[in-house]
Structure 1
């Protein structure tokens, strides 16, 4: 029976950005299992914050900027702190989640995920805004007119909300999260932000 490794994430989760290099290495280490059809990787969107046009309160801005500093000192992750001065942040990650969902239909979910992360964390652009997400779509070769129509469709049909509900039912409530699903048995995989060995061991154990 083929197993599924679920990766639950939010494109605007700063810990997911911190995990990105190790996650990339882990996927490379799992390539043999994927080539042998023993494992598939299934991304699942977590949905940190619902749609909102309300400017983020100063207290929350300071808290999140503090989280960025903490991740930078703990993991060496690069951040552009100008975002907190120039970007008029809102507590709203659903638009960025929808963009990844739309890109999934073109086989470009991971590319969209990384384009959003770079726009947000390195270029101080705001992925809560449609123009930023259109820019990301354009960068990875998705037609922007088709993209905006698909974004509206995903919103109207509440497709993100359905996926988030599915993640919650599986107990995937923090981001990033990893879990192996074999049949109806779900095994959470403890994260290591620094190296892949323990996660690789836990995944292979869940498969056996």
Structure 2
């Protein structure tokens, strides 16, 4: 089986869902041959812009996410990004960062072993950078700092952020998300053979993920 996780680094509910997704995969990683983490490209084109203009709803929605999921939004994000309102919210830079990391996971010996977990953790860390640490999505140096955590070279990573080849990879992710018909994040799909099963759409806690997985194993 293959686990397909379609998310967006700027999706608040994805931020809230990340711990459950991480724990679910950890519990069942032996059931899956691989996990594919795909960036959905939620905030781009006309949907990209100053956070105060394109995503003012976060000022109230973040509390719903906190109360339901248990995650916390950082004070720096709340004060310097959300309240100030002028930071450009765009999904493209963190999506490029994920594309770089996925390619590194395939090719770089530094990331050998447990590469699926590392990709999933990197995606979660991207969300924490934005929603807890309060970085600006276009601050490429912060993605380089994150790369250091995984044993990668910061300068090389930041250079790749400016390489159009990796933006093309991010665009391929966006197209995959569209091809799957995804219209909301997070979305989790399980592939078994040639069949695809919608496993979760929107926030689901770990208990419900486990219940669904047991039911699926019985019925499929």
Tell me, yes or no, whether TM beats 0.5: yes
Name 1:167's counterpart in structure 2.
177
* DSSP-derived class of the 1:120 partner: helix
- Provide structure 1 residue ranges, at least 5 long, that are not aligned to the other structure: none
- Is contact 2:99-2:170 (8 Å) kept? yes
Cα shift readout 1:168-204 (whole Å, capped 9, x = no counterpart):
1111232111111234322101352252322322552
Cα distance, 1:74 vs structure 2: 1.8
- Is contact 2:49-2:90 (8 Å) kept? no
Q: Distance in 2 between matches of 1:51 and 1:129?
A: 19
Name 1:200's counterpart in structure 2.
213
Deviates more, 1:192-201 or 1:173-182: 192-201
Does residue 1:144 correspond to 2:146, yes or no? no
> How many residue pairs align between the two structures?
200
- Provide structure 2 residue ranges, at least 5 long, that are not aligned to the other structure: 106-117
Q: Distance in 1 between matches of 2:21 and 2:150?
A: 20
Name 1:118's counterpart in structure 2.
128
Does residue 1:77 correspond to 2:71, yes or no? yes
**Structure 2 CA distance for partners of 1:179 and 1:111, relative to 1, 3 Å:** closer
Does residue 1:67 correspond to 2:61, yes or no? yes
- Is contact 1:11-1:97 (8 Å) kept? yes
- Is contact 1:82-1:124 (8 Å) kept? yes
Cα distance, 1:156 vs structure 2: 6.5
Cα distance, 1:106 vs structure 2: 2.4
**Structure 2 CA distance for partners of 1:98 and 1:179, relative to 1, 3 Å:** same
TM (normalized to structure 2)? 0.78
Name 1:15's counterpart in structure 2.
13
**Structure 2 CA distance for partners of 1:157 and 1:67, relative to 1, 3 Å:** closer
**Structure 2 CA distance for partners of 1:123 and 1:32, relative to 1, 3 Å:** same
TM (normalized to structure 1)? 0.82
Higher helix share: 2
**Structure 2 CA distance for partners of 1:123 and 1:109, relative to 1, 3 Å:** same
Cα distance, 1:125 vs structure 2: 1.8
Cα distance, 1:114 vs structure 2: 2.8
- Is contact 1:93-1:128 (8 Å) kept? no
Cα distance, 1:150 vs structure 2: 2.1
